[in-house]
Amino acid sequence: MSWNSFGRMFRFTTWGESHGPALGVVVDGCPPGIALEEGDIQPFLDARRPGQNRFTTQRREPDQVRILSGVFEGRTTGTSISLMIENVDQRSKDYSEIAAKYRPGHADYAYDAKYGFRDYRGGGRSSARETAARVAAGAIARKVIPGVGLLGHVVELGGDRAERFAAQHLESSELWCADPEAEVRWKSRLDEVRKAGSSVGAVVEVLADGVPAGWGSPIYAKLDSELAAAMMSINAAKGVEIGDGFAAARLTGEENADPMRPGPAPGDPPVFTANHAGGTAGGISTGQQVVCRVALKPTSSILSEVESVTRDGEATTVRTKGRHDPCVGIRAVPVAEAMMALVLADAFLMHRAQCG
């Protein structure tokens, strides 16, 4: 159960609102004896942090994480790990307009319809600030599966696809873009979008290397299913693909085949000569690279007036001033990477439980 929890064995529960005093996460099921300190988590939060360049929201949060439990003398104890991040930049602002009107595309109306009222300050619980908690949990997940290498990047922005993959460019990229030429185009596009008070969508891809064959499970705990649920829980996500995804639906069986050959040495696992499947078969990892993409819609906070209604049901219009990301997909990269880490750590523990 638990609406605010994810994972089966490696399970985390997040809490906190955009403008509350703090946000955090409790990680349960972490194996004992893993070296862990705040310095293992902070870099991932820093990578996600807003306000780092002109392409992301100007809210400035230090996002300093504190470990409150579950770690003793620098190692995980096997008990619940509590992480907390204080909210600092809760800019004093007049929220009466948001309180009274529903912002189209945001969760405002849906929350009111469900709960009868809502914490309207900065979106409350529906704010993407919640993703800081996931990124923190994801940093722990990474330590549970040390052999797995994760790489997240933006593969499409505003409908413009990256054409090549220069991994070394990623470190210096301000947009998590592995294609230097595409990054130039995207920056130019984002500058326009930002000036116009508009927004664009993006597609983020996460690659996982080093996942051994055998993680994941039939039928409803398929690795594909867990990844789909994880990625679709990210704010603004509207689509998920594993491997070739929707493109696979346009291939023939011959084109989509992932042939296998014997491994280089006797006893080695087989080698695949293609990876249309994205690293899974029957919901279980095959030892290939796990490939997952998530589509993020353009943020609904735009300067143009959009028709809406008030809480009282009167016609009105909404336009969003203030600080917002022109493309939420950019800051979704560390979040999607974290979700991949969390799903894989969970799958690893599940596999170990059943298969030793």
Counting contacts by CB under 8 A, is residue 93 touching a copy of itself?
no
Contact residue for a copy of itself among 50, 241, 335, 343 (CB under 8 A): 241
Cα–Cα distance, 191 to 118 (Å, whole number): 33
Annotated binding residue 195: no
Residue 125, annotated as binding a ligand: yes
Of the listed pieces 43-51, 55-63, 180-188, 301-309, which binds a copy of itself according to CB under 8 A?
Answer: 301-309
Nearest distance from C-beta of residue 63 to a copy of itself, angstroms: 16
- Say whether 233 counts as a known binding-site residue: no
Of residues 176-235, which lie at the interface with a copy of itself (CB under 8 A)?
A: 193, 198-203, 212-222, 224-233
130 contacts a copy of itself (rule: CB under 8 A)? yes
CA angle 240-325-110, nearest 5°?
Answer: 60
Which residues, in sequence order, are CB contacts of 157 under 8 Å at separation 6+? 175, 177, 182, 186, 189, 190, 200, 201, 202, 203, 327, 329, 330
DSSP state of 101: B
Q: Which amino acid type is present at position 36?
A: L
Nearer to a copy of itself, 117 or 172 (CB): 117
Give whole-number Cα distances, 26 to 43, 167, 321, 349, in Å.
19, 33, 34, 17
Q: How far apart are CA 167 and CA 179, in angstroms?
A: 8
Does 299 sit near a copy of itself (CB under 8 A)?
yes
Site for a copy of itself in 30-89 (CB under 8 A): 30-33, 66, 68-70, 72, 75, 77-82, 84
Nearer to a copy of itself, 50 or 123 (CB): 123
Q: 282 a known binding residue?
A: yes
Choose between 138 and 172: whose C-beta lies nearer to a copy of itself.
138
Q: From 2, 5, 85, 9, select the one nearest 347 (Cα to Cα).
A: 9
User: Closest approach of Cβ 2 to a copy of itself, in Å?
Assistant: 5
User: Which amino acids are annotated as binding site for NADP(+), given as ranges?
Assistant: 48, 54
